[in-house]
């Protein structure tokens, strides 16, 4: 492994460990569907088993194919992220950060899915009757990483577009 990639690997290990530890503690101290009010009217810790994808998508499907497709899709996505990370030049720090976040989250949820058959979700944000779907640290890593990745690619493409317009005008 390149020396320059060590901080990213360290970040992946820390975030993966935080995800797994938080899920372990939730399972140990809060019963399934149990709830601890943290900020009344806004945020609870609610123990939930998610058999679907991120934020509970496809959780209510009872199709046995979904039990195969989700782990396989997760493995393929993980492979793609690792491949893309390795191919990303060292100086692309923001891109490496985004991929590290996605990698940590994908690993965290994949370990759950393969080991338990479901993902432990517990972060429950809400306002009055509107509840955002329960999620976990891994989902947060994937979401933040995807946003950073999207913005990085968008900014780079705008920069290239500007450069091409300037060089084309001369």
How many CB atoms lie under 10 A from the CB of residue 44?
Answer: 20
In this structure, how many other beta carbons lie within 10 angstroms of the beta carbon of residue 168? 7
Whether residue 77 lies inside any domain: the answer is yes
Q: pLDDT at position 58, please?
A: 58
Please check the confidence at residue 61 and state whether its pLDDT lies above 80: no
Mean pLDDT of 146-155: 96
Rounded mean pLDDT of 118-128? 96
Domain total for the chain?
1
Q: What is the mean pLDDT of residues 150-170?
A: 76
The residues carrying an active-site annotation are: 121, 139
In a domain, 140, yes or no: yes
Range with the lowest mean pLDDT among 32-36, 46-50, 96-100, 160-164?
Answer: 160-164
pLDDT per residue as tens digits for the range 94-107: 999 999 999 999 99
DSSP string covering 111-140, please?
A: HHHHHHSSEEEEEEEEETTEEPPPB-HHHH
By three-state DSSP, how is residue 161 classified? helix
Is 60 exceeded by the pLDDT of residue 151? yes
Q: Is residue 33 part of a domain?
A: no
Give pLDDT, residue 167: 61
Examine residue 18 and state whether it is found in any structural domain, yes or no.
no
The predicted model gives 150-167 an average pLDDT of: 78
As a whole number of angstroms, the distance between CA 105 and CA 77 comes to 11
Name the average pLDDT for the chain. Answer: 90
pTM given for the model: 0.86
Please list, in sequence order, all residues whose beta carbon lies within 8 angstroms of the beta carbon of residue 8, skipping any fewer than 6 positions away: 85, 96, 97, 99, 100
Q: Can you tell me the distance from the alpha carbon of 83 to that of 125, in angstroms, rounded to the nearest whole number? A: 34
Three-state DSSP class for 160?
helix
> CA 162 → CA 91, 121, 151, distances in Å?
21, 43, 16
Cβ neighbours for 137, distance < 8 A, ≥ 6 positions apart = 15, 18, 19, 22, 23, 105, 108, 123
Tokens 């690993």 locate to 107
Within-domain flag for 76 = yes
pLDDT of residue 2: 86
Please give the residue range of the domain that contains residue 155: 64-163
Residue 10 lies in a domain: no
The 10s digit of each residue's pLDDT in 75-100 is 999 999 999 999 999 999 999 999 99
| pLDDT of 18 above 90 | yes
Tell me the C-alpha distance between 56 and 66, whole Å: 13
pLDDT at 160: 72
Q: Answer yes or no: is 38 within a domain.
A: no
């Amino acid at each position: 492994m390149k020396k320059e990639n060590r901080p990213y690997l360290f970040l992946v290990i820390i975030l993966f460990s935080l995800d797994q530890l938080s899920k372990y503690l939730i399972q140990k101290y809060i019963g399934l569907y149990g709830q601890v009010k943290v900020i009344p009217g806004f945020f609870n810790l609610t123990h939930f088993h998610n058999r679907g994808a991120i934020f509970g998508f496809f959780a209510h499907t009872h199709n046995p194919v979904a039990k195969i497709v989700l782990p396989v899709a997760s493995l393929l996505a993980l492979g793609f992220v690792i491949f893309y990370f390795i191919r990303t030049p060292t100086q692309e720090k923001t891109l490496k950060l985004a991929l590290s976040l996605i990698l940590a989250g994908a690993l965290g949820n994949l370990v759950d899915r393969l080991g338990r058959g479901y993902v432990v979700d517990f972060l429950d944000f809400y306002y009055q009757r509107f509840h955002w779907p329960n999620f976990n640290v891994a989902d947060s890593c994937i979401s933040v990483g995807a946003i950073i990745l999207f913005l990085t690619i968008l900014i780079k493409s705008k920069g290239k577009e500007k450069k091409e317009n300037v060089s084309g005008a001369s």
